[in-house]
Amino acid sequence: MKKYIYPKTNEWEKLTERPTQSFKEIEETTKLIFKDIQTNGDNAVAKYTSVFDGVVIEDIRVSQTEFLEANQQISAELKVAIATAKANITKFHMIQKRSKIEVETTMGVNCWMEKRPIEKVGLYIPGGTAPLFSTVLMLAIPAQIAGCKEIVLCSPPDKNGKINPAILFTAQLCGVTQILKVGGIQAIAGLTFGTNTIPKVSKIFGPGNQFVTVAKQVATQYGVAIDMPAGPSELLVFADESANPRFVASDLLSQAEHGTDSQVIFATTSKSFLKLVENELKSQLTVLTRKEIAEKAIENSKMILFKSAEEALDFINLYAPEHFIICSKKEEYFVENISNAGSVFIGDYTPESAGDYASGTNHTLPTNGYAKNYSGVSLDSFLKSITFQKISKEGILNLGKTIEIMAEAEGLQAHKNAVSIRLKALQNEY
């Protein structure tokens, strides 16, 4: 890890920089694939599946037999673990439900707001070496609680035309209404336009490689909403001499194994503790199965020594980490004053892994500094607010003049007239 000892504040901006990702090259290709799928539907989807996934699939819908097979292939132990995680994630997302809020702002003027589900949502789950069934939990559970009518899951097929059994098992468990064997740009384009087989959805969720990331951006140009802009996963740990260096090192490595582009930052106010963590990292790194990946990510990572907790906090708010672990005797100070972070893990026994899998919070979080202006996925991500108002005769008599004056001042006479015509009718009535 690169070490920074008491960096000056004018150097901080530089330290918060993430490796810039430019996907300009693949944007054009992505747009061409979108056009092709918009025009040629399922045929075009099949073509790209054959090209990119190297497999020809007759029917991209998962068969009943495949579901049964998946169910048999998952160990009893894993089934129990998934059920436990599901119970916790359900609890945490259920308490996010909110009933209608209402207020009579002026006598006779009733205003309220209700949340109603986004009817059709698409969940993208990557394939590849790490079958992210945990992401199925994180997206399908709140979608189901929200009441989304159609929950469509797309995941790329393997060379045998199959989807990982853990993904199938979890999707069925969490109320996904349709599962399709399609990945990459062609999946996102399919969900954007709809084909004979893939339903058109209003919002697309989920992680993915650079092609999926660009495809989601392109989808927004066709009216589809997305969960949030994506970037490589990140962790910032603040720990001081009150913490356990072995635990801290294990957390830094858990982030580092995600990919060589993972962002890992260790911030501290103790020089001696920094040394302890550095040594622990070296020794724990040697025994990891994904050692090559983690090693590379760690090389690009930063250890930063700050003069005080206050200074460290200012830096952390500037960096806006996706995951923020606090192991410090000043944990209350950090919890109270953190402004920009996706999810916060507090204390020696709260590894990021807990939130990644099973504690109940959502693991789909803003990266790349987006914690300054975006929330992570929550129940609200699957709902939208609608405001309502009902004004009585008394209400419009009370508020009418105000509206007339304001509309007049903005030069919008027909806006004024819609009120005047009602006030006049009421004058005749009374």
Q: With H, G, I as helix, E, B as strand and everything else as coil, classify residue 263.
A: strand
Which of 257, 322, 331, 352 is an active site residue? 322
Q: How far is the CB of 198 from a second copy (least distance, A)?
A: 17
Which of 93, 280, 323, 331 is an active site residue? 323
Q: How far apart are the first and last CA of the chain?
A: 80
Strand partners, 7: none
Cα separation, 411 vs 141, whole angstroms: 49
Is 38 annotated as belonging to a binding site? no
The per-residue DSSP string of 31-59 comes to HHHHHHHHHHHHHHHHHHIIIII----S-
Residue numbers 131-160 binding a second copy by CB under 8 A: 131-134
Is 356 annotated as belonging to a binding site? yes
Determine the Cα angle at 113 with ends 111 and 116, to 5°. Answer: 150
Contact present, 399 and 387 (Cβ < 8 Å): no
Please indicate whether residue 363 is annotated as part of the active site. no
Give buried/exposed letters for 315-332 (b at 16+ CB in 10 A, else e).
bbbbbbbbbbbbbbebbe
Contact present, 190 and 219 (Cβ < 8 Å): no
Contact present, 179 and 62 (Cβ < 8 Å): yes
Place of tokens 């607010």: 385
Does the protein bind a second copy through residue 98 (CB under 8 A)? Answer: yes
**Binding letters toward a second copy, positions 363-402, x by CB under 8 A:** ---x-xxxxxxxxx-x-x--xxxxxxxxxxx-xx--x-xx
Please indicate whether residue 322 is annotated as part of the active site. yes
Among 5, 32, 107, 425, binds a second copy (CB under 8 A): 425
**Between 45 and 89, whose beta carbon lies closer to a second copy?**
89
Is 359 annotated as belonging to a binding site? no
Q: With H, G, I as helix, E, B as strand and everything else as coil, classify residue 406.
A: helix
Among 144, 254, 263, 301, binds a second copy (CB under 8 A): 254
Is 186 annotated as belonging to a binding site? yes
Q: How far is the CB of 252 from a second copy (least distance, A)?
A: 9
**Binding letters toward a second copy, positions 312-351, x by CB under 8 A:** -----------------------x--xxxxxxxxxxxxxx
Residue numbers 30-89 binding a second copy by CB under 8 A: 77-78, 80-82, 84-85, 87-88
**Between 5 and 95, whose beta carbon lies closer to a second copy?**
95
For β-strands 343-346 and 302-305, DSSP reports them as unpaired
Is 59 annotated as belonging to a binding site? no
Quick one: which segment of 49-57, 175-183, 249-257, 299-307 binds a second copy (CB under 8 A)? 249-257
Largest CA distance in the chain: 88
Does the protein bind a second copy through residue 96 (CB under 8 A)? Answer: yes
Q: How far is the CB of 219 from a second copy (least distance, A)?
A: 11
Place of tokens 């853990």: 166
Residue numbers 178-217 binding a second copy by CB under 8 A: 202-203
**Between 72 and 411, whose beta carbon lies closer to a second copy?**
411
**Between 290 and 330, whose beta carbon lies closer to a second copy?**
290
Residue numbers 218-237 binding a second copy by CB under 8 A: 220, 223-225, 229
Cα separation, 70 vs 167, whole angstroms: 9
As a dihedral over the C-alpha atoms of residue 245, residue 250, residue 252, residue 253, rounded to 10 degrees, the angle is: 140
Is 410 annotated as belonging to a binding site? yes
Does the protein bind a second copy through residue 91 (CB under 8 A)? Answer: yes
User: Torsions phi, psi of 312, nearest 5?
Assistant: -60, -45
Query: Annotated active-site positions, please?
Result: 322-323
